[in-house]
């Protein structure tokens, strides 16, 4: 085993003189008066390894001994991860002693003594490769698959497999024989280096299905595909975190992995406190039962923040390999990029734009490419859908992190300061935002087959109404209310109707906060029907009050359970209003 001694310290960058071979990204432990500080090799020059320490280096002295582990930073994978709250290095935060996070304290991500009810899926004599299912155990409500470890290259034959029954996490549940006759024991636990993608699947097709989030401005206007990527840049105060929380509560996914990366601790506390109380709208179970939180808040060590998004992605890929639909949310990827910048700066690398490392776009696109819809070795589909929040400096969407993300993510949900200021939530700008998936033929086909035969053309029609409304609004602002043709006012208010009824959504109302696709379709068609009519007005002053009454009636509908009597009452009322001025 290689060892070394500390020769230089600049905050969390530590230079180590080594006496043997070291690998890039190898993990080592630095001994600070008996406390072991975890660190990762990020550069090697001659016999000096540059390491980033995942802890505070206060009090560290040159000459301190260092031990290298010959392993990269790994996630420990197995049953028992659901509902857990981890830090960026996958330490179970609940297992840590005391009020404060003490450095050098690392805890087990799984429960070593837990027992699981194992049911074999494969049988003796089967030929298997990495990622194949050997058996399953129930974890909450998920049939958690026990797989041939992803790190096992080559082909294996099952020599023996455990019978149905209760086993400890670390018990051997199968013995595999490799092609040279060597035997390998497999338990329910496996390890995987977080910075490498798990590729234990047969193929990764283009995403073709839509992933419902319950948020209308996303689902209706710019849908994200299952296995797709999206990002939400926005200045502070525009509701990035509220939007992410709302998606995490309502999205149609088997499993939510929430990476709170360099953000406020109180927001994460809100998740811990609320999720165990809130019901999953689809299964009726508590939300926490389908959630894993990776929490590396802004005051936790910056190198661990960088690791946290990789840890989250690795856990997502692991569950995807069980044939599950996983949604990964990261808030915020800018903090991750800033962590990269801090290290690059300490290593005195030549900087790229805004002092970010030159390879930032490559790092971001490599990360985003780990998501996707896949067919596993046995043909079962699984997916990781990723939505990342981006916090652009000064709200400027031309900054490096936003630009780099825009090159790789396929959905762009721009949160706008103007919409937030006028309390139009969610503040996703309908004109700036886009979903590339809407252009995919397979997605269009899926939408038209599953929502309504005219869905895609309806959505484009809605987008046109919004654009025309904006143009009309701009003209009115320049020329004054009576300086434009009357029809401009109608255009403006038709887009306003669409905006207020379809796009704006009350995230705190129990009905309105999440809208199923069927209802979204019904409401969009209703709004479009009205927008297609021509209305008769004498003067521009009549337009706003008239549309306001329509908006009020439809708002009430949004707050009521779908197709109830009261819902229909308001719809009848709406139709009466429409008939008052509809051009016959």
Of 100, 154, 182, 379, the residue at the interface with other proteins (CB under 8 A) is: 100
- 338: contact with other proteins by CB under 8 A: yes
Which has the closest alpha carbon to 260: 224, 304, 225? 304
Judged by CB under 8 A, the chain residues 248 through 307 that form the site for other proteins are: 262, 264-266, 268-270, 272-273, 295, 297-300, 302
Interacting stretch for other proteins, rule CB under 8 A, among 7-15, 152-160, 213-221, 565-573?
Answer: 7-15
Name which of 320 and 335 has its Cβ closer to other proteins.
Answer: 335
Interacting stretch for other proteins, rule CB under 8 A, among 2-10, 158-166, 448-456, 512-520?
Answer: 2-10
In angstroms, what is the minimal distance from the CB of 330 to other proteins?
Answer: 15
In angstroms, what is the minimal distance from the CB of 301 to other proteins?
Answer: 9
- 19: contact with other proteins by CB under 8 A: no
Name which of 264 and 282 has its Cβ closer to other proteins.
Answer: 264
**Residue 427 Cα distances to 31, 281, 409, 544, angstroms:** 49, 24, 19, 22
Interacting stretch for other proteins, rule CB under 8 A, among 193-201, 233-241, 528-536, 567-575?
Answer: 233-241
- Whether 299 and 265 have beta carbons less than 8 Å apart is answered as yes
In angstroms, what is the minimal distance from the CB of 277 to other proteins?
Answer: 11
Interacting stretch for other proteins, rule CB under 8 A, among 171-179, 211-219, 232-240, 487-495?
Answer: 232-240
Full DSSP string of 526-584: HHHHHHHS-B--SSGGGHHHHHHHHHHHHHHHHHS-TT-HHHHHHHHHHHHHHHHHB--
Cα torsion 12, 16, 20, 25 to 10°: value is 20
- 62: contact with other proteins by CB under 8 A: yes
Name which of 78 and 235 has its Cβ closer to other proteins.
Answer: 235
Distance CA 483, CA 493 (A): 17
In angstroms, what is the minimal distance from the CB of 493 to other proteins?
Answer: 17
- Whether 428 and 387 have beta carbons less than 8 Å apart is answered as no
Residue 71 CB neighbours (<10 A): 13
- 555: contact with other proteins by CB under 8 A: no
In angstroms, what is the minimal distance from the CB of 42 to other proteins?
Answer: 16
In angstroms, what is the minimal distance from the CB of 417 to other proteins?
Answer: 10
**Is residue 460 within a helix (H) or strand (E), and if so which, with residue range?**
helix 455-479
Q: What phi and psi values does residue 507 have, to the nearest 5 degrees?
A: -65, -10
**Is residue 70 within a helix (H) or strand (E), and if so which, with residue range?**
strand 65-72
- 89: contact with other proteins by CB under 8 A: no
Cα torsion 54, 55, 57, 63 to 10°: value is -60
Of 82, 93, 189, 577, the residue at the interface with other proteins (CB under 8 A) is: 93
- Whether 446 and 210 have beta carbons less than 8 Å apart is answered as yes
Judged by CB under 8 A, the chain residues 468 through 487 that form the site for other proteins are: 480-481
Full DSSP string of 276-303: TTSBPTTTSSBGGGGEEEEEE-TTS-HH
Interacting residue ranges for other proteins, rule: CB under 8 A: 7-11, 15, 56-63, 85, 93-94, 96, 98-103, 235-237, 262, 264-266, 268-270, 272-273, 295, 297-300, 302, 335, 338, 341-342, 345, 351, 354-356, 391, 393-396, 421-423, 480-481, 508
């Amino acid at each position: 085993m290689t060892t070394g001694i500390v020769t230089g310290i600049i905050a969390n960058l530590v230079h180590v003189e080594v006496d043997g071979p070291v690998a890039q990204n190898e993990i080592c432990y630095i001994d600070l008066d008996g406390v072991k500080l975890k660190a990762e090799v990020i550069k090697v020059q001659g016999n000096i390894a540059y390491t980033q320490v995942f802890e505070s280096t206060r009090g560290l002295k040159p000459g301190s001994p260092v031990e290298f582990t010959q392993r990269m930073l790994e996630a420990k994978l197995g049953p028992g991860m659901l509902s857990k709250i981890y830090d960026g290095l996958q330490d179970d935060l609940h297992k840590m002693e005391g009020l404060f996070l003490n450095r050098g304290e690392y805890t087990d991500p799984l429960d070593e003594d837990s027992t699981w009810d194992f049911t074999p899926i494969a049988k003796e004599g089967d030929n298997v490769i990495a990622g194949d299912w050997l058996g399953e155990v129930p974890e909450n409500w998920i049939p958690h698959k026990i797989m041939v470890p992803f790190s096992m290259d080559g082909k294996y034959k099952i020599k023996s497999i455990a019978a149905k029954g209760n086993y400890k996490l670390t018990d051997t549940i199968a013995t595999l024989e490799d092609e040279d006759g060597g035997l390998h024991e497999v338990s329910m636990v496996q390890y995987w280096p977080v910075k490498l993608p798990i590729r234990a699947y047969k193929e990764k097709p283009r995403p073709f299905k839509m992933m419902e989030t319950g948020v209308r401005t996303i689902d209706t206007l710019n849908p994200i595909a299952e296995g797709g990527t999206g990002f939400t840049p926005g200045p502070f105060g525009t509701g990035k975190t509220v939007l992410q929380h709302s998606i995490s509560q309502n999205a149609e996914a088997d499993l939510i992995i929430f990476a709170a990366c360099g953000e406020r601790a109180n927001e994460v506390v809100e998740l811990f406190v609320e999720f165990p109380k809130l019901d999953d709208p689809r299964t009726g179970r508590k939300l926490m039962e389908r959630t894993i939180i990776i929490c590396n808040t802004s005051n936790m060590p910056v190198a661990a923040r960088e690791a946290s998004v990789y840890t989250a992605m690795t856990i997502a890929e692991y569950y995807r390999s069980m044939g599950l639909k996983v949604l990964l949310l990261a808030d915020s990827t800018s903090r991750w990029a800033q962590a990269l910048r801090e290290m690059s700066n300490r290593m005195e690398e030549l900087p790229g734009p805004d002092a970010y490392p030159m390879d930032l776009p490559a790092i971001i696109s490599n990360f985003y490419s780990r998501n996707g819809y896949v067919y596993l070795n046995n043909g079962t589909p699984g997916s990781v859908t990723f939505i990342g929040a981006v916090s652009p400096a000064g709200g400027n969407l031309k900054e490096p992190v936003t630009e780099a993300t825009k090159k790789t993510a396929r959905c762009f949900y721009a949160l706008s300061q103007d919409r937030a200021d006028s309390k139009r939530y969610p503040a996703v700008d309908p004109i700036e935002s886009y979903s590339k998936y809407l252009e995919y033929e397979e997605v269009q086909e899926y939408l038209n087959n599953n929502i309504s035969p005219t869905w895609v053309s309806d959505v484009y029609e809605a987008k046109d109404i919004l654009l025309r409304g904006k143009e009309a609004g701009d003209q009115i602002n320049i020329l004054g209310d009576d300086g434009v043709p009357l029809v401009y006012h109608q255009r403006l208010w038709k887009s306003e109707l669409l905006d207020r009824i379809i796009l704006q959504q009350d995230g705190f109302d129990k009905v309105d906060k999440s809208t199923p696709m069927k209802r979204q379709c019904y409401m969009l068609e209703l709004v479009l029907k009205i927008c297609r009519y021509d209305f008769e007005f004498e003067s521009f002053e009549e337009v706003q009050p008239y549309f306001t009454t329509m908006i009020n009636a439809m708002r009430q509908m949004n707050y009521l359970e779908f197709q109830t009597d009261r819902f229909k009452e308001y719809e009848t009322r709406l139709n009466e209003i429409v008939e008052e001025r509809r051009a016959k």
